[in-house]
Amino acid sequence: MFGGMALLMLAGVAIGFVPYYAASRDLEHFCAELVVDTPVALAQSQAAARGYDVIPAGEGRLLMKVPPLAPQVPSKRGCDLRVGPTGRLVSAAYSDSL
């Protein structure tokens, strides 16, 4: 009886968190595939098409993040984009602690 209950609870946790984990891994791959000198507008539209949040983070910097599970639990994983004065990507780095 308790084994079945534990299995059911584990399955519920997996169903809740596996999609979020997979989305974080997809963001990591997306970030690695961004090419330097890409127009930032193109990177933003590709990110939006994948459902990522793009957040301004100061002069010449944008953060791409997986939407949070809940407003009270913001994601720390994301892609830190550096944008040059011409509006083109200078660098893109994935981080687990943004």
Domain locations in the chain as residue ranges: 2-95
91/95 Cα distance (integer angstroms): 13
Nearest to 43 by CA among 62, 21, 67, 68: 62
Please report the pLDDT score of residue 35 as a whole number.
Answer: 93
Better-scored residue on pLDDT, 94 or 21:
94
Q: What are the structure tokens assigned to 60, written together?
A: 């010449």
Nearest to 77 by CA among 85, 61, 88, 66: 66
pLDDT tens-digit map of 3-44: 778 788 887 776 766 666 666 678 889 999 999 999 999 999
Please report the pLDDT score of residue 51 as a whole number.
Answer: 87
pLDDT tens-digit map of 35-82: 999 999 999 999 999 988 899 998 899 999 887 765 666 677 889 999
3 burial (CB, 10 Å; 0-12 / 13-18 / 19+) is exposed
Please report the pLDDT score of residue 60 as a whole number.
Answer: 93
Nearest to 28 by CA among 89, 88, 90, 76: 76
Q: What are the structure tokens assigned to 27, written together?
A: 């963001």
Location of structure tokens 């098409």: 49
Please report the pLDDT score of residue 72 as a whole number.
Answer: 60
Please report the pLDDT score of residue 20 as a whole number.
Answer: 60
